[in-house]
Amino acid sequence: MLAHHNLSLAKGLLLQWVEGFYQRRDRLVVLGFNGQKVQLLQPARKAVAFNEDWISAIKGGGGTPATLGLGKADEILQQAKRKQPGLRTGLWLLTDGRFNPLPSRPEYADQCTVVDFENRAVPLRRAQQIAQLWQSDYFVAAEFYETP
């Protein structure tokens, strides 16, 4: 997601969403995955008021282990559902789709949304393929930044 300022756009979008979570007093978990690792960027808790520092520190990189990252997300969702039976969970995947193979849909996410940051001259449309595979909502990231 480093190409064409995608990482900066993703950080801006994440900041907006986290502020909304804070206003609604919702809980969230944020995972980042790049290189060959998955990082817990924000542990499972109610959203907090000040988020600029940890969001600005998020780094990008190639070799994304999407299957590993989404597996970790599914573990966290499973734990949350065990603690609170009946809890509705959602997962948002912000991606340029530049990984292989296409990951399976996380089993414990009640709702999935894929936000596509791909904006290359020759699009692969893999984020769109993921959304179709998962039967999830799909948005192109630019839709969140368009002005009326």
Helix, coil or strand: residue 60: coil
What pLDDT score was predicted for residue 121? 82
What pLDDT score was predicted for residue 1? 57
Q: What domains sit in the chain, N to C, each tagged with a CATH number?
A: 3-144 (3.40.50.410)
What pLDDT score was predicted for residue 30? 96
- What are the φ/ψ torsions at residue 47 (nearest 5 degrees)? -60, 145
DSSP symbols for 89-120: -EEEEEE----SSPPPPPTT-SEEEEEE----
Burial group, residue 77, by CB count within 10 angstroms (0-12, 13-18, 19+): buried
What pLDDT score was predicted for residue 2? 55
Tell me the C-alpha distance between 19 and 6, whole Å. Answer: 20
Tell me the C-alpha distance between 144 and 90, whole Å. Answer: 18
The amino acid sitting at 27 is R
What pLDDT score was predicted for residue 59? 84
| pTM for the predicted model, two decimal places | 0.90
What pLDDT score was predicted for residue 147? 53
Residue 114 tokens, joined: 């894929």
What pLDDT score was predicted for residue 43? 93
Contact 1, 10 (CB under 8 A): yes
What pLDDT score was predicted for residue 145? 73
Terminal-residue alpha carbon distance, the chain: 26
Mean pLDDT for each consecutive 10-residue tract of the chain (148 residues)? 76 94 95 85 93 91 81 96 96 90 95 93 91 97 73
What pLDDT score was predicted for residue 16? 93
From 93, 97, 94, select the one nearest 120 (Cα to Cα): 97
